[in-house]
Each structure stands twice: as C-alpha cells, then as structure tokens.
Structure 1
Amino acid sequence: MTNRAPNEARVIPLRPAAEPAPREPLWRDLVGDVLRRERLAQERTLKDVAEAARISMPYLSEVERGRKEASSEVLAAAAHALGLGLGDLLDRARGELIRLADRRGPARGAAPASSSHNGLCLVA
C-alpha cells in the first residue's frame, strides 16, 4: 500500500529540474548603489544631496535603494548634486554591471536540442 490519497497522482520527472538562473541585476539597483556610494564617499547626508538636486529626500532615498525607477532628469539632477555628469553616473553603473556579470561567469546558453520535453512530467 502507498501513503498517497486516492486521487493523488504520482509524478515522474522526465529530467532533473534545472537550477534556477541567477537573477539579473536591475538597472535601478545599480544606479542607486552608485549614487549612495558616491554620496557616502563625499560624507554628505541624504538631505544635503536631495536639497542640492531639488529632489525630495524620501524620493532620493527610494532611488538609492533601487525602489524607484527614476527619470533621466532626476538622475541627472542627483548626479550633478554629487559633482558628476549623467554620463559619469551611467558609466559607473555600467562598470558595476560588468563586474557582477564577470563574477557570475559566462551566460547560460539555450537548452540542448535533445531536451525537447521542456520540463514536462509523466503522470502515472
């Protein structure tokens, strides 16, 4: 006898489950990290930079934490308040993206052609 309920099917995987792909970093996280690092490196407060950029302090905090997808105008204002150009900010975020990609290793390719079952399972 089995311990299964009468209506419970036994699932037999056709192939082992693949490891989930690592999460791609979000651009807003990268840009926010750069803004926060630069602000802290300059030993400036969130309030000081927000006032200089004419951005609300809570909004700038959300941008730094990657919670808000800021417009290019807001990013330029925050960058300029820190003495950076928008291109400098984006270049630093790009460098961080490259650094993270190098640490993760080569990108995973598509599944081999012989794996045509696409993770389906047989139900017995």
Structure 2
Amino acid sequence: MASLNVGGLGEYLREQRRNAQLSLRQLADAAGVSNPYLSQIERGLRKPSAEILQQIAKALRISAETLYVQAGILDERDRGEVETRGVILADPTLDERQKQVLLQIYESFRKENGYGVDDGPAGDGGASSAGTADAS
C-alpha cells in the first residue's frame, strides 16, 4: 500500500471546504468529527482512516475515492476515473438525480470500451473501489 500523503490531503481538504463555502466547524459537524481533529488533518498532522475520509467526503459532497487517492490509499492509476467521478459529484450546478444519471452514463461508456466499473481493462482485475460514490 502506498504511504499516506497527509500534507497533500490536508491542502486538498482545505481547498474543497473553502469551495463548498464551509467553515472548519461546519464541516466538522457535518462529517461527525471534532473541530480540532479536522484542523489537524488539514494541517497534515493526523492520518485519518478510510472511514473518516468517507464521512468527510459525504459532508463535502465529493466522492470518497477522490480523498482516498489524495491520501494515497487508492492506487494512482485509478486517478482519472476517480477525478471524473469527483468532478461530477462536486458540481454545484447539478442536482443529485442529474449527478447519478451522468455517473450511470459514464459507467456505461466505460463498460462499452472494455472497462468494468472500478476496474482496469476487462480481465485486468484493477483496484476495487474502497467505497461507492455517495450522493444522497
């Protein structure tokens, strides 16, 4: 497993939080973590678990996979797909239904081109997703 990129993760989280126009306290409350703990993550002092990253991703309305890549939990080769999903899920101009439809279309095109959902090329057995793209 890759070593955790905690500093880069913290910077990325701070940027996403600011883009979402949330204070540190608001994000901490929405994610169910303490304000000091979230602050330490953003400053690169703490290594959050995949579960905590998933909670933060849900609160930010981005894919957990995007945070897993930033933290070095998911393999870098999955980054393109993860970023595509993350951009769709983070788009504030789309409602949740539209986001889900776009993701379904994206996945159908990947399958048509020989890629499975969260796989590499067919038969490759690429890295499986550490969580689904949560969009409530």
TM-score by length of 2: 0.47
Which is higher, the Rg of structure 1 or of structure 2? Answer: 1
Tell me the number of residue pairs that the alignment of Structure 1 and Structure 2 aligns: 71
- How far apart, CA to CA, are the structure 1 residues paired with 2:6 and 2:53? 10
User: Is the contact between residue 76 and residue 86 of structure 1 (CA under 8 Å) also seen in structure 2?
Assistant: yes
Return the match for 2:47 from 69, 72, 87.
69
| Alignment pair present for 1:36 and 2:27 | no
User: Is the contact between residue 6 and residue 47 of structure 2 (CA under 8 Å) also seen in structure 1?
Assistant: yes
The unaligned stretches of length 5 or more in structure 2 are 77-136
Provide the aligned C-alpha RMSD in A.
2.1
The alpha-carbon distance between structure 1 residues 68 and 93, as it changes in their structure 2 partners (threshold 3 A), is closer
Higher relative contact order (CA 8 A, sep 6+): 1
1:22-101 map, 5 Å: 27-91=5-69
- How far apart, CA to CA, are the structure 1 residues paired with 2:47 and 2:71? 14
Deviations 1:68-107 (CA, angstroms, capped at 9, x unpaired): 011111111111110012102234566xxx8xxxxxxxxx
Percent identity between the two aligned chains: 35
Deviations 1:19-68 (CA, angstroms, capped at 9, x unpaired): xxxxxx96011111111100011111001100000000000000011000
Aligned counterpart, 1:5: none
TM-score by length of 1: 0.51
User: Is the contact between residue 34 and residue 93 of structure 1 (CA under 8 Å) also seen in structure 2?
Assistant: no
- How far apart, CA to CA, are the structure 2 residues paired with 1:42 and 1:57? 17
The alpha-carbon distance between structure 1 residues 84 and 69, as it changes in their structure 2 partners (threshold 3 A), is same
Structure 1 counterpart of 2:62, which letter?
Answer: L
The alpha-carbon distance between structure 1 residues 68 and 92, as it changes in their structure 2 partners (threshold 3 A), is closer
